[in-house]
Amino acid sequence: MLRDYRVFESFAYHMVNLAQQKRIDKEFDLNGTFYAFDSTTIDLCLSLYDWARFRSTKSGIKVHTQLDIRTEIPTSFTITDAVVHDVNAMDSIAYEPFACYIFDRGYFDLRRLYHINEASSFFVIREKRRPKYEITAGEDVLEGTDNVLQD
């Protein structure tokens, strides 16, 4: 008989919540909720974990982690096969309104980034490559600023 994983999942989220409450008083200069999202690949022995093959000589899994920057505590994990591209893990994130999500360039996908905008959330991401764009309208210098040249 297999144990139901949800017992452990529920307990893990309970422990994360307790840990966050202990760390919430940590000084943080920005207002709001900020999350960093990234992944790491864990190599596994190919002869034991053939089901997790992702290269001709390797097997492994990938752990996608959402880190609460204010408390420095992970808030969620998604475990996938190592062959799953990072950008696909964005579909498992439950975006909070007005929270800011920080990604590296492996997560650059305009359709998925637009989904963050639709959830009234924000994001910071490095581009994969230099985009082609054209400025169609804007101000030369924004009123009340001396360091923003165009918007």
Which of 79, 44, 39 has its CA nearest to residue 58?
44
Q: Is residue 135 part of a domain?
A: no
- Answer yes or no: is 130 within a domain: no
What is the total count of domains within the chain? 1
Query: pLDDT confidence of 151, banded at 50, 70, 90?
Result: very low
Structural Rg of the chain based on CA atoms: 20
* Residue 133 in domain: no
Q: Is the pLDDT of residue 31 over 60?
A: yes
Q: Give the mean pLDDT of 79-102.
A: 94
Q: Which domain holds residue 115?
A: 5-125
- Output the pTM of the full model: 0.71
- Is pLDDT above 50 for 32? yes
Tokens 């409450």 locate to 21
Q: Is 37 exposed, middle or buried (0-12, 13-18, 19+ CB in 10 A)?
A: buried
| Inside any domain, residue 151 | no
Count of alpha carbons within 13 angstroms of residue 21, beta-carbon side: 6
The contacts of residue 126 (CB under 8 Å, 6+ apart) are: 103, 104, 105, 108
